[in-house]
Chains A and B, each alone.
Chain A
Amino acid sequence: GQQLNQSPQSMFIQEGEDVSMNCTSSSIFNTWLWYKQDPGEGPVLLIALYKAGELTSNGRLTAQFGITRKDSFLNISASIPSDVGIYFCAGLGGADGLTFGKGTHLIIQP
């Protein structure tokens, strides 16, 4: 089946720093999605990317759909304590439904 490699697995940063994480795949996806999951809750969709090369922002979040359609990155600028959580990338396409990365644990030190 399809697999997504998400990195880094975890990040320890200072409040106010910028964050960058990415996902790569051996398969092409038609749509890339980025989610955040807080403890005890389901993932929340942050950004959806529909076209290769597309760059989309949602507040302090910016994500891009790679030109090859096999990768995507998510940037968070000027991190704040409520950004703490697990961020997942996911690819949509084919018969496997959504394929998720393993997640990036973001920990912010005040």
Chain B
Amino acid sequence: KAGVTQTPRYLIKTRGQQVTLSCSPISGHRSVSWYQQTPGQGLQFLFEYFSETQRNKGNFPGRFSGRQFSNSRSEMNVSTLELGDSALYLCASSWTTSGPNTLYYEQYFGPGTRLTVT
């Protein structure tokens, strides 16, 4: 099956602008999470969406927002860009199943969108 796709792969923006990144999950996966990866802070959780609802949110300012559509595709938006927002933004789709004695977690990351803010 097709993997997680993210568009665009590379983006250059100017301070103060806004940006929208897109993620298409694995078919059948209803959970989509977003992460920011920088050399200094590593991988940090932004938010998670499940069935069009935000389920969890990381410790990022309100300039970072997201949404999920009925087909599970997700977008994240960053408004009023700052230099420190330059990073690799990763999307992951996941599927979890659990029972009385079983738990199975499947997750795939996309290749990321490299955002450079100048």
Contacts and interface: CB of A to CB of B under 8 A. Distances in A.
Interface in B47-93: 47-48, 56-59, 90, 92
A45 B107 contact: yes
A110 B103 CA distance: 39
Interface stretch (A18-26, A56-64, A67-75, A92-100): A92-100
B58 A96 contact: yes
A31 interface: yes
Interface residues of B, number: 25
B59 A1 contact: yes
Contacts of A97: 33, 45, 47-48, 56, 58
Interface string B96-118: 00000001111111111000000
Contact of B90 (A42, A45, A48, A95): A42
Contacts of B8: none
Contact of A95 (B43, B56, B103): B56
A104 to B, nearest CB: 12
8 nearest A-B residue pairs (beta carbon):
A42-B109, A97-B45, A100-B43, A50-B103, A102-B42, A97-B56, A48-B105, A43-B109
Interface of A: 1, 31, 33, 40-45, 48, 50, 88, 90, 92, 95-103
